[in-house]
């Protein structure tokens, strides 16, 4: 059952490609940002999958006086740190993208890429 | 068992993403995006990343859904069909995906304990952080102490994004002849169930936000999550009772001060360390015993992060919702 060991990575790649597809093939700017969000979530998934160790627990120190018998293995805390800040930064940058979209809509009256380009050309 | 849950959730995640790609109604796509975030948060829990799951649940299905909806109401609800063929796009995506899958063949299988990623600094973090830094939650130790520079940078990015958003949209509602606003109070206040239930929930949400903030050293949580949760309490209030009332509770100018104050607190702690004779963000110098210094330093910078994140998130919500009043 070798495919199970890589299922996480493949799922992350499928998600990444779906997000990528939305970004390059859809003309709607909000849809593009949604695609970008899917893309970034897939990256988060990839990092967290790499940090996981089989039969390990969350990287919070277990008080050895409370549970002395269990052997503790912790998952890697470093990807968790990187991703948790990346999520909040991601929402902040998405918000800036959305603000730009709103301004584009106020200026052009549309958020479809081809219509914006047509209006630009006609100027 | 864990593997089965993992695979099922991942499959759901892929199906949701496919639905998002297919669907033309932006509203449905945004709602599916919320589900997508919740599913990925569940996945993060199964993969032991409790702090990340916390953040994803609060940010992904909370704040980012609200912001997307806000932008959607200001623009258009439907996505038009693309006028050009996307066959090339499919080709590009399939080829790139195939190359990436080929690349994963060299990655050690999921969950391998001796994978290269676990061989370097992680060992030090896991074994030494309870002794060197103190907090039982290693994610907090790494976030606030070992990698304090990163966190400072990321807080600065969030702050910058907030400034950019205010520059683009503005926080205040312009008062130029928007009289017809009066007869259409666009709040959900009329819904009795919603307003009563949210009245009961808001104090609990705020209390929980504070708990997450100050318990972050010992359990999952910390400044980023707490800021987002606290902000979602205020945003819920604004959604139910109207943005005007919410702006009387916390005014945009107060938010602007708070967002800067949080970042300054973070930087100030770093400077304090220099003044006390250490390196920038070297908390050992903050108190007599190094471990107390670490504790104080982490407490202060988590507070700074929490304040900045909270202020920026609410400011973003204000910016989008006030734009509505402006263009109407």
The model's pLDDT over B236-285, given as tens digits with 9 standing for 90+, comes to: 999 888 888 888 889 989 999 999 999 999 999 999 999 988 888 888 88
Angstrom distance (rounded) from CA B268 to CA B133: 20
> Does any CB of chain B come closer than 8 Å to the CB of residue A95?
yes
Q: Which of A58-62, B47-51, B260-264 has the lowest mean pLDDT?
A: A58-62
Mapped onto helix, strand or coil, the DSSP state of residue B93 is: helix
Report yes or no: B51 at the A interface, CB cutoff 8 Å.
yes
Average pLDDT over residues A41-68: 84
Q: Do A91 and B125 touch (CB under 8 A)?
A: no
Looking at residue B75, what is its pLDDT?
Answer: 87
Distance CA A82, CA B139 (A): 10
Given this model, what pLDDT does residue B95 score?
95
pLDDT digit string, tens, across residues B165-187: 999 988 666 554 444 444 445 55
- Using an 8 Å CB-CB cutoff, list chain B residues near A8: 6, 10, 110
SS (H, E, C) B151-179: HHHHHHHHHHHHHHHHHHHCCCCCCCCCH
Query: Cβ–Cβ contacts within 10 Å for residue B91, how many?
Result: 10
Mapped to the 3 state alphabet, what secondary structure does chain A carry? Answer: CHHHHHHHHHHHHHHHHHHHHHHHHCCEHHHHHHHHHHHHHHHHHHHHHHHCECCCECCECCCCCCCCCCCCCECCHHHHHHHHHHHHHHHHHHHHHHHHHHHHHHHHCCCEHHHHHHHHHHC
Quote the DSSP letter at residue A57: B
ipTM for the assembly: 0.92
Task: Tell me the chain A residues in contact with residue B162 when contact means C-beta distances shorter than 8 Å.
Answer: 92
Residues 233-252 of B with CB under 8 A from A: none
Q: Which residues contact residue A11 at a Cβ distance below 8 angstroms, ignoring those fewer than 6 apart? A: A45, B10, B11, B13, B14
pLDDT at residue number B177: 45
Per-residue pLDDT at B186: 55
Nearest CB among A74, A102, A106 relative to B138 is that of: A74
B323, A105: Cβ pair inside 8 Å? Answer: no
Confidence of residue B159 (pLDDT cuts 50, 70, 90): very high
Q: Which of A53, A50, A52, A71 is nearest to A62 (CA)?
A: A71
Question: Which among B68, B136, B157 has CB closest to A61?
Answer: B136
Read off the pLDDT of residues A47-56 as tens digits, 9 standing for 90 and up.
999 988 888 8
Predicted local distance difference test score (pLDDT) of residue B173 = 63
CA distances from B90 to A25, B28, B97 (A): 8, 23, 10
Report pLDDT for B42.
Answer: 93
Question: Is the minimum CB–CB distance between B92 and chain A shorter than 8 Å?
Answer: yes
Interchain contact A7–B (C-beta under 8 A)? yes
Per-residue pLDDT at B227: 93
Contact of B229 with B272, CB cutoff 8 Å: no
Average pLDDT rounded to a whole number, residues B126-136: 84
Residue B87 confidence (pLDDT) above 70: yes
- Residues B160, B311: Cα–Cα separation, whole Å: 12
pLDDT tier at A68, thresholds 50, 70, 90: low
SS3 B77: coil
* Mean pLDDT for the stretch of residues B288-301: 89
**Residues 6+ positions from B196 with CB-CB distance below 8 Å:** none
What is the number of residues in chain A? 123
A chain contacts of residue B139, beta-carbon cutoff 8 Å:
59-60, 77, 80-81, 84
Best interface-test mutation with B: which of A7, A42, A52 has the largest number of B CBs within 10 A?
A52
Compute how many other C-beta atoms are within 10 angstroms of the C-beta atom of residue B232. 24
Q: For the purposes of burial, counting CB atoms within 10 Å of the CB of B194, is it exposed (0-12), middle (13-18) or buried (19 or more)?
A: middle
Whether the Cβ atoms of residue B228 and residue B63 lie closer than 8 Å to each other = yes
Average pLDDT over residues B60-80: 87
Q: How far is CA B205 from the centre of its chain?
A: 16
Which residues in chain A are closer than 8 Å to B158, comparing Cβ atoms? 88-89, 92
Q: What is the DSSP letter of B82?
A: P
Residue of B nearest to A59 (CA): B138
CA-closest candidate to residue B281, choices B114, B109, B144: B144
A-chain residues within 8 Å CB-CB of B1? none
Decide if pLDDT at B209 tops 90: yes
Instruction: Tell me which residues of chain B, numbers 281 to 320, contact chain A at a CB-CB cutoff of 8 Å.
Output: 309, 312-313, 316, 319-320
Q: How far apart are CA B188 and CA B327, in angstroms?
A: 20
Nearest Cβ partner of B29 from A34, A58, A85?
A34
DSSP B244-276: HHHHHHS-HHHHHHHHHHHHHHHHHHHHHHHHT
Q: Cβ contact (<8 Å) for B319 and A93? A: no
pLDDT reported for residue A64: 67
Residues of chain B with C-beta less than 8 angstroms from the C-beta of A89: 154, 157-158, 161
Instruction: Verify whether the Cβ–Cβ distance A26 to B79 is below 8 Å.
Output: yes
Q: Which of A88, A93, A99 is nearest to B319 (CA)?
A: A99
Q: What is the dihedral of CA A42, A45, A51, A56, to 10 degrees?
A: -170
Q: Give the residue with greater pLDDT, B34 vs A5.
A: B34
pLDDT at B148 over 50: yes
Please list every residue in chain B whose beta carbon sits closer than 8 Å to the beta carbon of residue A43: none
Give A95's contacts (C-beta < 8 A, 6+ positions apart).
Answer: B67, B161, B165, B316
- What is the pLDDT averaged over residues A71-93? 88
Length of chain B: 328
Q: How far apart are CA A33 and CA A101, in angstroms?
A: 10
């Amino acid at each position: 059952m070798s495919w199970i060991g890589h299922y996480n990575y493949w799922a992350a790649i499928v998600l990444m490609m779906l997000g990528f597809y939305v970004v390059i093939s859809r003309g709607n700017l909000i849809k593009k940002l949604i695609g970008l969000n899917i893309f970034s979530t897939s990256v988060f998934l990839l990092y967290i999958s790499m940090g996981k160790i089989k039969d390990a627990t969350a990287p919070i120190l277990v008080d050895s006086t409370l549970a002395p018998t269990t052997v503790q293995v912790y998952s890697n805390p470093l990807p968790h740190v990187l991703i948790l800040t990346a999520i909040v930064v991601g929402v902040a940058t998405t918000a800036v993208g959305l603000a730009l979209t709103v301004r584009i809509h106020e200026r052009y009256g549309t958020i479809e890429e081809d219509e914006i380009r047509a209006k630009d050309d006609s100027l | 068992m864990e593997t089965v849950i993992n695979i099922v959730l991942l499959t759901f995640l892929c199906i949701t993403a496919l639905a998002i790609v297919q669907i033309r109604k932006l509203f449905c796509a945004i709602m599916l995006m919320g589900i997508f975030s919740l599913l990925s948060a569940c996945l993060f829990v199964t993969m032991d990343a409790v702090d990340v799951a916390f953040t994803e649940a609060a940010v992904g299905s909370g704040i980012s859904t609200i912001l997307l909806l806000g932008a959607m109401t200001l623009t258009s609800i439907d996505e038009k069909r693309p006028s050009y063929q996307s066959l090339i796009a499919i080709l590009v995506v399939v080829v790139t995906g195939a190359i990436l899958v080929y690349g994963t063949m060299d990655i050690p299988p999921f969950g391998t304990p001796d994978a290269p990623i676990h061989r370097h600094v992680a060992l030090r973090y896991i074994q030494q952080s309870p002794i060197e830094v103190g907090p039982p939650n290693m994610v907090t130790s790494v976030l606030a102490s070992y990698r304090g520079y990163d966190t400072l940078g990321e807080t600065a990015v969030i702050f910058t994004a907030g400034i950019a958003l205010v520059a683009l949209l503005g926080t205040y509602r312009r008062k130029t002849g928007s009289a017809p606003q009066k007869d259409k109070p666009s709040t959900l206040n009329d819904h009795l169930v919603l307003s009563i239930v949210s009245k009961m929930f808001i104090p609990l949400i705020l209390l929980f936000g504070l708990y997450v903030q100050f318990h972050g050293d010992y359990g999952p949580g910390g400044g980023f999550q707490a800021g987002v949760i606290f902000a979602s309490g205020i945003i819920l209030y604004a959604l139910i009772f109207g943005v005007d009332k919410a702006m009387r509770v916390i005014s945009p100018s107060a938010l602007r001060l708070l967002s800067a104050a949080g970042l300054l607190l973070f930087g100030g702690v770093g400077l304090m360390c220099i003044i006390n004779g250490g390196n920038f963000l070297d908390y050992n110098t903050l108190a007599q015993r190094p471990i107390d210094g670490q504790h104080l330093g982490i407490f202060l910078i988590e507070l700074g992060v929490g304040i900045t994140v909270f202020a920026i998130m609410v400011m973003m919500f204000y910016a989008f919702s006030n734009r509505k009043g402006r263009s109407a």
